[in-house]
Amino acid sequence: MPMSRSFKDSLFKKLPEIAEHYGTPFHIYDEAGIRETGNRIKEAFAKIPEFREYFAVKALPNPAILTLMKTMGFGFDCSSVAELILSRRAGCSGGDIMFTSNNTSREEFQAAAADGGCILNLDDISLIAKVPRMPELICFRYNPGPLRTGNSIIGNPVEAKYGVSHSQIVDAYRLAKERGAIQFGIHTMLASNELNYTYMVQTARTLLELVEYIQKELGITFRFINIGGGLGIPYQPGVAPLDLEALGREVTDLFSAFNRRNGYTPALYMESGRFMTGPHGVLIVRAINRKDIYRTYIGVDGCMTSLMRPALYGAYHHIEVLGKEGEQPSELVDVVGSLCENNDKFAIQRPLPPIAENDLLIIQDSGAHGHAMGFNYNGRLRPKELLLNVDGSVELIRRAETEEDYFATLQFAPDTLITGE
């Protein structure tokens, strides 16, 4: 099931009061659930001498969430200057941060090196010459190309824009070494929202084999391998979750075998976003209109600017109506926002119980790539974010955007360039 029993039990009874106090729409995240998943991840890989999760900041870039991740001992995976700043404000630097950029700019290299630095995860062989100062520890993103098929969201690696190709990978490490790097890591991310755990086992195997090949060529050893994010969550009821424990066991076996062959064990890094927070957030909206034309539309007070996955990927997000959780669905409806864009729908032809005006709808699994993907099309504003703490209290962790925020970048004073003839 999309939402855990315990999240439901603690949230649903408080929801009318929370909605009344803060006003809808809002995302609300479950601290207890995030901690539980964090502990499960640590437990699953506990037999590998060094394991660390680097939470993918882009999934839920909120300081309260990053602080929570830090208390669990996690680092952060960043791919923009803003994400670096957020991670550093959460108290991280150096080896706590992976900077996995793509098409990296000079400004990004500067930001990566500033304020205590981070682990640079380079995306291309041409960037070695562009790193202002080669750090002691360097990582490359690997793109296996035709040696591996990607899953549906990531697509075919041959068409994917990230990473160093197979034929360039040894040279990449050789060049980095010549420029002064002395410690090495390797990264790849070949799947997204993948529920089949064997996919990640295969990724770990691919990287460990590659490490053996590179170290033979260059006489170096590897400090870590990073198998990326991409662990899936079941968005639809009845879909089996990813078997994290089996993933942990099989990857641990690969690491033990690697140790027997090579006499050392690199660290294992992972950078999950969705798996860490996805199921532990929901978007709460209120029904404000009902419209019966060729179909029945339930209009709610949030729209796709608060959660664009349904519009972007046709993604399913489970919806429940507060107080009617046990009821049989009575009609097929489209649950829609107010954007002038016909794909502004949270659900299409979904069987739901009868919905009345003012009913609260719980749109589930919004905890990753939810609020974060928000935008302002049509002058729509991003909603607030709340955190349901372990002690039962609720905290506003981001206010809603205002029209003033929306107008903040508009240029009212003239700033004109008269171009020369």
Ligand X SMILES: *Cc1c(COP(=O)(O)O)cnc(C)c1O
Residue 298 β-bridge partners: 290, 335
Reading the block at residue 95, the tokens are 């080896």
Q: How far apart are CA 286 and CA 301, in angstroms?
A: 6
Check binding of 229 to ligand X (CB under 6 A). yes
Among 52, 58, 317, 382, binds ligand X (CB under 6 A): 58
Which one of 78, 139, 303, 340 is the catalytic residue? 340
Residue 97 · residue 78 · CB < 8 Å = yes
Q: Which has the closest alpha carbon to 298: 341, 359, 237? A: 359
CB 219, min distance to ligand X, A:
29
Check binding of 268 to ligand X (CB under 6 A). no
Pairing of strands 26-30, 384-388: parallel
**Residues in Cβ contact with 416 at an 8 Å cutoff, skipping those fewer than 6 apart:** none
Nearer to ligand X, 312 or 332 (CB): 312
Pairing of strands 394-398, 384-388: antiparallel
Among 25, 61, 228, 299, binds ligand X (CB under 6 A): 228
Which H/E stretch holds residue 326? none
> In angstroms, what is the C-alpha Rg of the chain?
23
Q: How far apart are CA 348 and CA 329, in angstroms?
A: 14
Among 192, 203, 252, 306, binds ligand X (CB under 6 A): 192
Q: Say which amino acid occupies 266.
A: P
CB 296, min distance to ligand X, A:
34
Residues 88-107 as x/- pattern, contact with ligand X by CB under 6 A: ------------x-------
Judged by CB under 6 A, the stretch of 54-62, 86-94, 128-136, 381-389 that binds ligand X is 54-62
Judged by CB under 6 A, the stretch of 56-64, 334-342, 374-382, 396-404 that binds ligand X is 56-64
Binding footprint of ligand X, residue count (CB under 6 A): 18
DSSP states of 340-395: SSTT-EEEEEEEE----TT-EEEEE--TTTTGGG---GGG----EEEEE-TTS-EE
Q: How far apart are CA 13 and CA 323, in angstroms?
A: 9
CB 231, min distance to ligand X, A:
6
Is 303 a catalytic site residue? Answer: no
Nearer to ligand X, 188 or 306 (CB): 188
CB 278, min distance to ligand X, A:
7
Residue 311 · residue 345 · CB < 8 Å = yes
- In a 13 Å sphere around the CA of 86, the CA atoms on its Cβ side amount to 25
* Torsion angle (degrees, nearest 10) of CA 251, 236, 300, 16: -80
Judged by CB under 6 A, the stretch of 165-173, 202-210, 229-237, 393-401 that binds ligand X is 229-237
Residues 110-149 as x/- pattern, contact with ligand X by CB under 6 A: ----------------------------------------
Q: How far apart are CA 113 and CA 111, in angstroms?
A: 5
Check binding of 230 to ligand X (CB under 6 A). yes
Check binding of 274 to ligand X (CB under 6 A). yes
Nearer to ligand X, 24 or 79 (CB): 79
Reading the block at residue 91, the tokens are 């108290």
Among 28, 56, 186, 355, binds ligand X (CB under 6 A): 56
Check binding of 30 to ligand X (CB under 6 A). no
Check binding of 77 to ligand X (CB under 6 A). yes
CB 58, min distance to ligand X, A:
6
CB 74, min distance to ligand X, A:
13
Could you list the active site residues? 340
Interface residue list for ligand X (CB under 6 A)? 56, 58-59, 77, 100, 189, 192-193, 228-231, 271-275, 368
